[in-house]
Structure 1
Amino acid sequence: MSRNIDENEHLHRLLCAVALGDRAAFRTLYDTSSARLFGFALRILRKDELAEEALQDAFVAIWHAASSYQVHLSAPLTWMATIVRNKALDLRRRMHASMETELAPRDHDLVEALQDAAAGPQERVQLSQDALALAGCMEKLAGRQRQAIGMAYLHDLSHTEVAAQLGQPLGTVKTWIRRGLERLRDCLTKGGAA
């Protein structure tokens, strides 16, 4: 019990310092609590890269909201875990919405191509195999890479439009797309085994 009280007091002091913009306190807060909060996010999202993304988003929110923490409403770790939970659930919702958005046009394009009267049987089989390989490789991308590539190439949006829709800096979106395309190329080159 005493350890919990000491830990709560320590985290509360760190949050108070973070509220004043103390970067060293923020680093200590991260070092002290990130492993447990990562585990919490991982239980919700079940993928390391998604849990890391949720944790990063949560710590950005903690940095900005530290001044709103109220010690009489919850323990510091409980307050931070709630932020992590919300970020993880938001990410999971975005992932599901993104997958639905991306899959519908691809399925429609595949059906249209398969119905092309000029395509012979071998072309139809190859197209089907290529589409399945691409879909399998897309599933292996990190959520934001998959979403950015889907918006850029399936919905024909410019990188600037993708950045605006995702509310992210243009450079970040370009990096997601470039790295995602590299991973897709590697995956497709290895026959979908990457």
Structure 2
Amino acid sequence: MQNQAEIQKLLVLCGTHSQTAFEQLYQQASPKLYGTAMRLLQNGELADEALQEAFVHIWHKASEYDPEKGSAFAWMATIVRYRALDIIRREKSQQNRSEAMANEQLALQQGEDFFIHELHVDEDQHLQLLQECLKALDSQQRKSVLLSYYYGYSHSEMVTRLKRPLGTIKSWIRRGMESVRECMQR
């Protein structure tokens, strides 16, 4: 990697949207920044993702870099670190949701009341009614509603998980929610 002065000069030029400077900055700084991401993520694909997101951010925010506040490389390494931490949080969240969904599927197969059992609220009539309304849904609608509202999956995550088109998933959620609303009002 070139010296810090060269990195700083290139970063300042990136602030003026110089594509040539950005390419040179990437060539010179990316190997070390990739190492930073790799140390945190321990996964090459995720480190690549963090590095790509970081450089997009660097391109858009280069004009905000202030040499008086620190070195250019430290500024960029901080961006990479934050992107890596975001990915760690996202991956952990997806893992937790997948585990919870697997536990729910097991509970459903065993005939357990998944909301009531999990929340220990045997007396709550609204929760019991909600559970009955959800059980009455078509299985795809129920799964879509639970993934979206209970587990917090985004529509794009649901497309990947359910292997169905976005429009289909949105329709399942909309129809499922309409049925649940009608059922809850009875």
Aligned counterpart in structure 1 of residue 147 of structure 2, from 155, 158, 175? 155
Q: Which residue pairs with 2:98 in the alignment?
A: 102
Q: Structure 2 stretches of 5 or more lacking a match? A: 113-142, 164-186
Q: Distance in 2 between matches of 1:109 and 1:99?
A: 15
How far the C-alpha of 1:162 sits from its partner, in A, is: 1.7
One-letter identity of the residue aligned with 2:155: V
Alignment pair present for 1:51 and 2:47: yes
Q: Which residue pairs with 2:21 in the alignment?
A: 25
Q: Distance in 1 between matches of 2:91 and 2:144?
A: 16
TM-score (structure 2 length as normaliser): 0.60
TM-score (structure 1 length as normaliser): 0.58
One-letter identity of the residue aligned with 2:46: L
How far the C-alpha of 1:46 sits from its partner, in A, is: 0.5
How far the C-alpha of 1:154 sits from its partner, in A, is: 7.0
Q: Structure 1 stretches of 5 or more lacking a match? A: 117-150, 167-172, 182-194
Q: Which residue pairs with 2:130 in the alignment?
A: none
SS at match of 2:96: helix
How far the C-alpha of 1:7 sits from its partner, in A, is: 1.3
Q: Distance in 1 between matches of 2:38 and 2:88?
A: 11
Q: Which residue pairs with 2:32 in the alignment?
A: 36
* TM-align CA RMSD: 2.9
Aligned counterpart in structure 2 of residue 91 of structure 1, from 74, 87, 92? 87
Aligned positions, number: 129
How far the C-alpha of 1:102 sits from its partner, in A, is: 2.3
How far the C-alpha of 1:32 sits from its partner, in A, is: 0.5
Give the greater-gyration-radius structure (CA): 2
SS at match of 1:155: helix
- Percent identity of equivalent pairs: 34
How far the C-alpha of 1:72 sits from its partner, in A, is: 1.5
